Amino acid sequence: MQLEILTSPARFAELEPAWWELWRASPRSTPFQSPAWQIPWLSRFASQAELCALCVHSAAGLEALLPLFAFRWRGERRAAPVGAGISDYLDVVLGASPPAEVLRLLRHGLELVARDVDCLELEDVPYASPLCELFRSMAGAGLERHGVCPVLGLADYAARLPRALRRSLSRGHRALASARIVAWHCADDSSIDGLLSALFELHTALWNARGAPGVLGEPDVQSFHREAAPRLLRAGLLRLFVLELEGSPVGALYVLHGRDAYLYASGYRPELGHLGIGNLLIEHALADACTAGKRRCDFLRGSEAYKYAWGAKDEITERISIRKAAA
């Protein structure tokens, strides 16, 4: 077994085939840990930062990967996971039942990084992540609850929907039935760019109507998704649905597909909110997830009321940090 700390983005990109192999073998991996998501993130958001990706290799191949980067913020040198900010889960990529030596080397790598920075901080770490156990055994580490991600079990979920939600869905279906032209689109290689544009426009319009910018309004974020979405699509990790009425896009939903389905971002025309288009988008995505054999749908971070209306239950994420003691 050998620990490698990658500092070269080019070397990081060369790791992609082995990374995909490890990602597919990992029982805890999400699309946020995939090369399709993290390589574009690194090029768009941390091109001037210092990469410090922890890799554990064996004769059989890559055994563990935790991409980190170091940067300066408010006079401090800090380290955080690649993907921070726009990723709902941040975690190490490990195979099933990793040997103790893999975890020992991974911990050693974390200690080396922590010594080199003023603060090493990881947010949005799933509560059951092996990282939590590693940090609990490290001197000076702090762990605290960070947030929640409501998750819905898909077995017979439709039979458990509350009456108010059923009524909303019925109104929406009646509205669709009264329209002359209704079309559902799912992105493919030829349509991905146009459907992303529709998503950005609808998401921004909805959030602007609420007095907020939305998470997809920034040019850098849009550029990231234009680079990442085709990669995710080729890997079978993306469903981008757009609903059209009378030839015009009125709703869009960006869904990541891994072992579960993940509802990442959506938007719809705010003036059509009374039609329940947001619920129709979710219903469409849940039906697709069931067809694809997914057992769960993750509404991702945030405790908005609509998530619980569908029956989702909270799963906790952690914030983990090590701060260098003052001299």
Average pLDDT over residues 289-299: 97
Sorted by where each begins, the domain ranges of the chain are: 2-146+318-323, 155-294
Q: Are 95 and 22 in contact (CB under 8 A)?
A: yes
Tell me the fold of 2-146+318-323.
Answer: Aminopeptidase (3.40.630)
What gap in Å lies between CA 186 and CA 191, rounded to an integer? 8
Q: Which tens digit of pLDDT belongs to each residue from 30-79? A: 999 999 999 999 989 987 889 999 999 999 999 999 999 999 988 999 99
Q: What percent of the chain has pLDDT over 70?
A: 99
Q: Which two tokens stand for residue 31?
A: 């699309």
Average pLDDT over residues 171-184: 89
Q: Which tens digit of pLDDT belongs to each residue from 187-203? A: 999 999 999 999 999 99
**Region of 211 on the Ramachandran plot (φ > 0 left; ψ -120 to 50 alpha; else beta):** left
At residue 148, the pLDDT reads: 97
Fold matches, 2-146+318-323 and 155-294: yes
Q: What percent of the chain has pLDDT over 90?
A: 84
At residue 192, the pLDDT reads: 98
How many CA atoms lie less than 13 Å away from 40 in the CB half-sphere?
20
What gap in Å lies between CA 189 and CA 14, rounded to an integer? 24
Average pLDDT over residues 268-292: 95
What gap in Å lies between CA 42 and CA 62, rounded to an integer? 20
Q: Are 320 and 79 in contact (CB under 8 A)?
A: no
At residue 325, the pLDDT reads: 63
The architecture that CATH gives domain 155-294 is 3-Layer(aba) Sandwich (3.40)
